[in-house]
Structure 1
């Protein structure tokens, strides 16, 4: 009960709920002495398990990274709107469009995409602790529009202290594509493809 109360204010996920349900299926796993033993084992584990029963103490150091939550969906850090003049926005937008073009490259019937406009962008700062090393970074989330087709997408890029740059998670389509991608059968590519001919 003490762990359940503590965990109210800690980062938890549906994977933790799954582990909790597994414990409820085997009630001997939540007896006091068993919980104490399992909690001690959890203290030294690296990397942290993706799912931790809510009957165990969720570590206070748990981050979205430890819990396998994509930065795009992480709500642990506050986000601030970026102005259109922030140079990180154009770099992130350029990489997002570049990655989409790389994905559709094997499909010659799809037109090459270009950045039409940036719809919004925000910045989140955070850090991860892995093997007692803290890595500070910023996540830049961008919503953009491409042409042809005026497809709208959003994605997040992580910029580390040393200015290393990486796209994290997937590039999500946020508007309908209708018949723009009729020339491909792959449901994933339908999100990004604008067919060379709409006939």
Structure 2
């Protein structure tokens, strides 16, 4: 039995190597499992066809990031203007990436909102850039949520500090009034009051 197990292992390793031959045989053999087997081969070929393009796009986007993050503010603004004028899907991704960087040179308050607006139509499409656009859209949406939460917390902290300062001023004013009244003269406890 042990020898038979070893003898069947190499043929199993050989058939997975040519994937185009394996799925049609599996789809014809069992009729009951055909829907589950047929669904898997249909998804597998579509993923590899977009994978090289997506890998190349991701590589270019990462190279852009490395270059952009070191630019001075004036050069970063020129690069953003160039990307906006280009209008291609890849340039739109790069522009959204640049606008969404938290420590981007020359970042303005509305840049994150602008990046989200640029990514939305691209993420809804079915172009090779769409999956990366959806990923970036999700990340920037979360970043905006966290920035808004941070802004709210900073405002609450300022409000609490202002309230704390007001209470301290009131306490200091009460202490000043108390000091201006002079030392308290307590009446002797044994002295009865006369009506």
* TM-score of Structure 1 vs Structure 2, range by shorter chain: under 0.3
Q: TM-score if structure 1 supplies the norm length?
A: 0.25
**TM-score between the two structures when normalised by the length of structure 2:** 0.25
* Structure ranking higher in helix proportion: 2
Give the structure with higher Rg (CA): 2
Determine which structure has the larger strand proportion and give its number: 1
Task: Kindly indicate whether structure 1 or structure 2 has the higher relative contact order, using CA contacts under 8 Å at least 6 residues apart.
Answer: 1
